[in-house]
């Protein structure tokens, strides 16, 4: 088992990464519980595979548990479900000092974390991420929340978990499409700040995809190290943390345009958004033209969606997509913020993107559909 520490003063916590952690959950979570009880929030798909092993591991250490089970999918991340979860947790008499366990992907982690943040004005929670995306990204850093009809993640709170348990073995049951969507956020770390990690992913991405445990362990650990470092520097996204949003200004607009449906998973939108951010950067003369080609080549080699043409069904035109970006949380004084690049591993945050270039890149991508 490896440990990555998120250094946030009195809100610091450990990310434990390794195989077989779910079976040890009772022993690992027990020390954080004031009484032998935990409430678990999960979704139907994850519950069918991993809930009973978790409950058995807790019971083995004398910890009783109750579960709240939601439907799977991005549409679950709504205020209606926050209300439902909070009311169920209150019904279970979850106390201020109890812990909520989020067992699932980013949808469950974001929603359960937000429910914990507002329950009795804040109870603690533990992340047990079950997707690659959640292990490398959403379970770390304390961004919790849900979508609004106005846009992605617009309602939420910063609420750090007390502990993250990333069991690598759990990824064995993840469908390939979900694995690749999570892999987009892994690639993001290389592209935003670690060119050597991107080199490593080019060499080992297929082994990782095909189930190599050591490769998965390395990718999850390196991703968590990078995220922990950025979050410790800028917990509330006043500056550098926005680097973690590489590809997301585009990606979130695409998710809104596809109705938060199975047409486009979050990670798929991020992969396409990163390819667009690299293309915009090259056209603005910020980076060499080889950079977007290299990014697109790796995403394609992994079998990932990486072009607007890869999204099924209708999409708004370029103006429509730019209008959707208007609700992005990084908008300041009406100006869009983009994460652009000077090369692989050299991302930066800017409000000076050339909107004519953005419009042209979107227009060409849409025309190729």
Ligand X SMILES: NC(=O)c1ccc[n+]([C@@H]2O[C@H](COP(=O)([O-])OP(=O)(O)OC[C@H]3O[C@@H](n4cnc5c(N)ncnc54)[C@H](O)[C@@H]3O)[C@@H](O)[C@H]2O)c1
Residues near ligand LNCXM5UN (CB under 6 A) are: 137, 141, 143, 152-153, 185, 237, 241, 244-245, 248, 329
Comparing C-alpha atoms, which of 156, 161, 158, 159 is closest to residue 145? 156
Half-sphere exposure of residue 360: CA atoms within 13 angstroms, side-chain side = 11
Distances (CA, A) of 138 to 113, 160, 286: 10, 11, 30
Q: How far is the CB of 369 from ligand X (least distance, A)?
A: 24
Residues listed for the chain: 369
227 neighbors 140 (Cβ within 8 angstroms): yes
In angstroms, give the least distance from the CB of 234 to ligand LNCXM5UN.
9
d(CA 116, CA 170): 24
Residue keyed to tokens 């139907």: 44
- The residue (of 45 and 138) whose beta carbon lies closer to ligand LNCXM5UN is 138
Q: Is 107 annotated as a binding residue?
A: yes
- Of 181, 146, 140, 183, the closest CA to residue 163 belongs to 140
Residue nearest to ligand LNCXM5UN as judged by C-beta position: 153
Cα distance between residue 286 and residue 341, in whole Å: 7
Tell me the C-alpha distance between 224 and 220, whole Å: 6
Work out whether 106 is an interface residue with ligand X (CB under 6 A): yes
Residues 6+ apart with CB under 8 A from 173: 49, 50
What's the min distance (Å) between Cβ of 243 and ligand LNCXM5UN?
A: 8
Which one of the spans 31-39, 70-78, 83-91, 310-318 is the region binding ligand X (CB under 6 A)?
70-78
330 is a catalytic site residue: no
Catalytic residue from among 178, 237, 255, 268: 237
Q: Is 121 a catalytic residue?
A: yes
Contacts with ligand X by CB under 6 A: the residue count is 31
Closer to ligand X by CB, 105 or 193: give it.
105
Nearer to ligand X, 224 or 321 (CB): 224
Q: In the complex, what is the shortest distance from the CB of residue 168 to ligand X, in angstroms, rounded to a whole number?
A: 11
Q: Answer for the pair 297, 201: CB distance below 8 angstroms, yes or no.
A: no
Check if 248 is active-site. Answer: yes
143 is catalytic: yes
Cβ distance to ligand LNCXM5UN smaller for residue 209 or 241: 241
- In 3D space, the residue among 24, 21, 20, 58 whose CA is nearest the CA of residue 39 turns out to be 58
Phi/psi region, residue 347 (left: phi>0; alpha: psi -120 to 50; beta: rest), is beta
> Does 174 interact with ligand X (rule: CB under 6 A)?
yes
Identify the CA nearest to 266 among candidates 369, 176, 133. 133
Q: Which is nearer to ligand LNCXM5UN, 26 or 129 (CB)?
A: 129
Catalytic option among 55, 159, 266, 306: 266
6 contacts ligand X (rule: CB under 6 A): no
- Closer CB to ligand LNCXM5UN, 152 or 159, in the complex: 152
Task: Write each residue from 280 to 319 as x if it is in contact with ligand X (CB under 6 A), else as -, in one continuous string.
Answer: ----------------------------------------
Could you tell me how far CA 231 lies from the centroid of its own chain?
A: 14
Closest separation between CB of residue 367 and ligand X, Å?
28
CA 109 → CA 128, 328, 339, distances in Å?
Answer: 8, 21, 25
Q: Of these residues, 245, 255, 268, 298, which one is catalytic?
A: 245
* 78 Cβ contact list (under 8 Å, min separation 6): 146, 147
Q: Which of 178, 185, 255, 268 is catalytic?
A: 185
Extract the tokens encoding 116.
Answer: 């914990």
> Where does residue 142 rank: exposed (0-12), middle (13-18), buried (19+ CB within 10 A)?
buried
Annotated active-site residue 245? The verdict is yes
Annotated binding site for NAD(+): 106-110, 130-131, 143, 152
Residues that bind ligand X (CB under 6 A): 43, 45-46, 49, 72-74, 77, 104-108, 110, 130-131, 133-134, 137-138, 141, 143, 153, 170, 173-174, 178, 181-182, 266-267
Catalytic residues: 121, 143, 185, 227, 237, 241, 245, 248, 252, 266
């Amino acid at each position: 088992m490896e440990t990555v520490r998120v250094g946030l003063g009195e809100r610091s916590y450990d990310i434990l990464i390794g195989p077989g952690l779910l079976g040890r959950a009772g022993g690992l979570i027990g020390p954080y519980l004031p009484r032998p009880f935990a409430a678990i929030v999960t979704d139907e798909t994850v519950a069918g595979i991993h809930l009973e092993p978790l409950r058995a591991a807790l019971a083995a250490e004398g910890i009783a548990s109750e579960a709240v089970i939601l439907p799977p999918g991005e549409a679950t991340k709504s205020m209606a479900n926050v209300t439902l979860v909070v009311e169920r947790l209150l019904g279970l008499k979850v106390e201020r000092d109890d812990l909520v366990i989020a067992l699932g992907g980013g949808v469950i982690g974001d929603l359960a974390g937000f429910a914990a943040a507002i329950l009795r004005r804040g109870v603690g929670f533990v992340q047990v991420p079950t997707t690659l995306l959640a292990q490398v990204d959403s379970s770390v850093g304390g961004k919790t929340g849900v979508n609004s009809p106005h846009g992605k993640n617009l309602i939420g709170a910063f609420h750090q978990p007390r502990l993250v348990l990333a069991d690598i073995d759990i990824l064995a049951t993840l469908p390939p499409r979900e694995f690749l969507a999570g892999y987009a956020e892994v690639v993001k770390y290389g592209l935003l700040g670690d060119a050597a990690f991107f080199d490593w992913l080019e060499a080992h991405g297929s082994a990782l995809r095909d189930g190599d445990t050591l490769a998965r362990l390395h990718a999850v650990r390196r991703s968590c190290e990078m995220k922990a470092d950025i979050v410790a520097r800028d917990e509330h996204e006043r500056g550098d943390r926005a680097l973690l949003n590489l590809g997301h200004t585009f990606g979130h607009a695409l998710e809104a345009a596809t109705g938060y449906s199975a047409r486009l998973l979050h990670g798929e939108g991020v992969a396409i958004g990163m390819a667009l951010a690299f293309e915009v950067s090259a056209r603005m003369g910020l980076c060499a033209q080889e950079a977007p080609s290299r990014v697109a080549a790796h995403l394609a080699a992994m079998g990932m969606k990486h072009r607007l043409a890869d999204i099924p069904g209708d999409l708004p035109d370029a103006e429509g997509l730019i209008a959707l970006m208007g609700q992005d949380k990084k908008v300041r004084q009406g100006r869009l913020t983009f994460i652009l690049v000077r090369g692989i591993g050299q991302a930066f945050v800017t409000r000076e993107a050339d909107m004519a270039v953005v419009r042209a890149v979107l227009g060409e991508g849409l025309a190729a559909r």
